[in-house]
Amino acid sequence: MPLPVPVLPEGVDPAWLPPAAFRSVGGRRTLIRGSGPLVETVHREVADACRRFGGRVVRDAEPGDGAYDLVLDLGVHDLGDEDYTVAREGGTTTVTAFGGRGLLYGLFHVVRLGEAAFSGAWTPKTHRPALSLRMLDHWDNVAVHPVMGQVERGYAGGSLFWEDGRARDELDRVRAYGRLLAACGINALSVNNVNVHATEARLLTDRLDEVAAIAGALRPYGVRTHLSVSFASPVTLGGLPTADPLDEAVRGWWAEATRRVYEAIPDFGGYVVKADSEGQPGPFAYGRSHAEGANLLAAALEPFGGTVHWRAFVYDHRQDWRDRTTDRARAAYDHFVSLDGDFADHAVLQVKHGPMDFQVREPVSPLIGAMPRTRLAVELQVTQEYTGQQRHTCWLGPMWSEVLRFRIQQGATVGESARGGLVAVSNVGDDPFWTGHPLAQANLYTFGRLAWQPDADPGAVLDEWIALTFPDAPARLADGLHAVLDGSWRTYEKYTAPLGVGFMVQPGHHYGPSVEGYEYSPWGTYHFADRDGIGVERGVTGGTGFAGQYGTPWAELYESPKTCPDELLLFFHHVPYGHVLKSGKTVVQHIYDTHFEGVEEVEEARAVWASLAGLVDPARHARVTERYEEQLRSAREWRDQVNSYFFRASGVPDERGRRIH
């Protein structure tokens, strides 16, 4: 019996696929050719739209059987499974694909175009993803964690998948989530936290049926399920005395466990592993390398075509803050660069886009360009851990675009180097608005579209999201939404940590300002501000040597304060407060000015949002209004704490005479 098109629970915001988004398709005559599970999904989507808007859908008609406005045709044999070709001739728009995913993505392409899909004539154009894997990591806990809760670093309520220590009985919303992901091109997700606790570890064995149920809900939209696993599983679950990756019994245990996974979930994607990091077990306990650890799991997955995503987030979180030669930024490169070429084909090294931890501004990780013989996946963070926790409007598309377009070591861009795919930590929960802050949905949509095309214009992607989320929006609403989102990342940067120095957040939960929150911490995130200056000296000469991890031309550019870009100056150098930036301002005056400007820009955005009250449904408008009130309160607190701290440290007054406490 065919599955129904997912119906969202009452009161749930349908995000970027409300029924009106399908009006252009639903009011026309459509022919669908082909068979298979995803073709059935395409048919259900079109049939539901036709029921709403008066069109008609026909299956597998013979050539010459009347004229159609739209033809969705499965069976072109020179395309990949996800590729599709769109053309328009003689009044008919045609989407052709070889695989079911391609046909589904082709349908959503037509939906994005709206009425423009049915006007004029176009020569055939093939669309294919630049990256084959476009994945979300959910940091969802099965059992509620006493510190991190149901979702670690989650700011949108509880988990979509888990509740009260088990999988949810009702998975309609999971199916609806898969639909949203397919519409922006995401094709994989991991269903549990990379910090694998005792309950979550058992998903690999005696609780595998729960994972299979979730995989079944996502499958109709072409989203493959992955699972985070503990490296110590052979010991904690299998009763073995060791988890040594070179031990034959350990290898046999993983092979058998993986075989059982594929029996339950034939299209299972693979494993995600956080090892030897922040207390998680790993191969170091046995004197083995991370490549040997990853290859153990890759060998178990290889017969089934699966992949292990091995996270490179490995560093000393018990370092001595007194030791200025220790530098957390160096850690990933120092741990992994010597292993280039040692990872198996079915292993992907997953590298955070920056060397630290998803700060509002940090340089691109030098590891991304330093391992040409290793499949790397680049990891972003859609959940706004350090960018306002979905209480602040902070659209991250421009930041991600800068990262993905960055040309590493005079070679390929970051987007081109991510041969293992693009991965992000999800920002979705069971909140009625999916992401807590309704405007944070734009981050999830933008990630999917940039994962499909890393060099896409993020502003155009933002306009896509606006048009799909508010299909009947008048120009004033569309322009207002674009205005409050487009500059919001730089606004957030202005009123938080300056010039790339990072952190300055409350320890633990990471929300709100604390200039010295991590200054004397074993976690290793410092700014070394004193009466004379601020910043971390990371040059080769007189610093930690981190700048030397880059190739040409970046190592030379970052080495000197004279050539280092202003926005990263304090990440790479300790400079006096009177150091003159390329903008012509001193460092301390830049701090004062940007923090005042950031608050003013939040006030302006709040006013724009207030002016849209009659154009947005009341519940959504009220939620965003409440978030803007909190953002403004928090931005003022950031401004006053940061400016006061540096006024007291430097003794230099604001040249414009504004009040600093």
* Helices 458-469, 397-405: crossing angle, 10 deg rounding: 140
CA distance 316 to 331: 8
Residue 619, helix vs strand vs coil? helix
Residue 73 has pLDDT above 60, yes or no: yes
Return the exposure string of 507-544: e unless at least 16 CB atoms fall within 10 Å of the residue's CB, then b.
Answer: eeebbbbbbebbeeeebbbbbebeeebbbbbbbeeebb
Torsion of CA 633, 637, 640, 646, to 10 degrees: -150
Question: Of 72-81, 94-103, 409-418, 575-584, which gets the smallest average pLDDT?
Answer: 72-81
Residue pair 228/271 in contact (Cβ under 8 Å)? The answer is yes
Question: So what's the pLDDT on residue 63?
Answer: 64
- Give kind and range of the element (H or E) at residue 336: helix 331-336
pLDDT band of residue 5 (cuts 50, 70, 90) is: low
Which percentage of the chain shows pLDDT scores above 70?
A: 97
Question: So what's the pLDDT on residue 325?
Answer: 87
pLDDT tens-digit map of 596-651: 999 999 999 999 999 999 999 999 999 999 999 999 999 999 999 999 999 999 99
CA distance 611 to 597: 21
Which listed residue (385, 431, 537, 601) is catalytic? Answer: 385
Question: So what's the pLDDT on residue 8?
Answer: 46
Which listed residue (357, 431, 593, 601) is catalytic? Answer: 357
CA distance 340 to 46: 47
Residue-averaged pLDDT of the chain: 95
Residue pair 115/100 in contact (Cβ under 8 Å)? The answer is no
pLDDT band of residue 164 (cuts 50, 70, 90) is: confident
Question: So what's the pLDDT on residue 66?
Answer: 74
pLDDT band of residue 2 (cuts 50, 70, 90) is: very low
Question: So what's the pLDDT on residue 1?
Answer: 42
Count the neighbouring beta carbons within 10 Å of the beta carbon of residue 342.
17
Q: Any catalytic annotation for residue 78?
A: no
Q: CB-hemisphere CA count at 13 Å for 151?
A: 26
Q: Residues 6 or more apart from 359 whose CB is under 8 A from it?
A: 386, 497, 500, 502, 503
Helix, strand, coil % in the chain, rounded to nearest 5 = 40, 15, 45
Residue pair 345/307 in contact (Cβ under 8 Å)? The answer is no
What does each C-alpha distance from 64 to 43, 86, 586 come to in angstroms?
21, 20, 73
CA distance 257 to 386: 37
Q: Any catalytic annotation for residue 278?
A: yes
Question: So what's the pLDDT on residue 36?
Answer: 95
Question: Mean pLDDT over residues 176-180, rounded?
Answer: 97
pLDDT band of residue 489 (cuts 50, 70, 90) is: very high
Q: Are strands 84-89 and 56-59 parallel, antiparallel or unpaired?
A: unpaired
Closest by Cα among 104, 95, 110 to 43: 104
Name the token pair of 642.
């940061």
Beta strand residue intervals within 161-315, DSSP E = 162-163, 166-167, 188-190, 224-228, 270-273, 307-311
CA distance 54 to 509: 51
Residue 407, helix vs strand vs coil? strand
Look-up of token digits 């045609």 = 94
Question: So what's the pLDDT on residue 410?
Answer: 77
Look-up of token digits 């008048």 = 474
- Give kind and range of the element (H or E) at residue 640: helix 618-650
Q: Any catalytic annotation for residue 385?
A: yes
pTM score: 0.97
Question: Mean pLDDT over residues 120-149, rounded?
Answer: 96
What does each C-alpha distance from 608 to 442, 470, 482 come to in angstroms?
18, 17, 11
Residue 409 has pLDDT above 90, yes or no: no
Closest by Cα among 599, 415, 406 to 493: 599
Residue 12 has pLDDT above 50, yes or no: no
| Secondary structure letter of residue 365 according to DSSP | P
R_g (Cα) of the chain, nearest Å = 25
Which listed residue (209, 263, 278, 617) is catalytic? Answer: 278
Count the neighbouring beta carbons within 10 Å of the beta carbon of residue 32.
25
Which percentage of the chain shows pLDDT scores above 90?
A: 94
Question: So what's the pLDDT on residue 548?
Answer: 97
Residue 78 has pLDDT above 80, yes or no: no
Residue 272: strand pairing partners: 228, 309
Q: Residues 6 or more apart from 589 whose CB is under 8 A from it?
A: 652, 654, 655
Q: Residues 6 or more apart from 653 whose CB is under 8 A from it?
A: 647, 660
Question: Mean pLDDT over residues 522-535, rounded?
Answer: 95
pLDDT tens-digit map of 287-309: 999 999 999 999 999 999 999 99
Question: So what's the pLDDT on residue 4?
Answer: 52
Name the token pair of 79.
């395309």
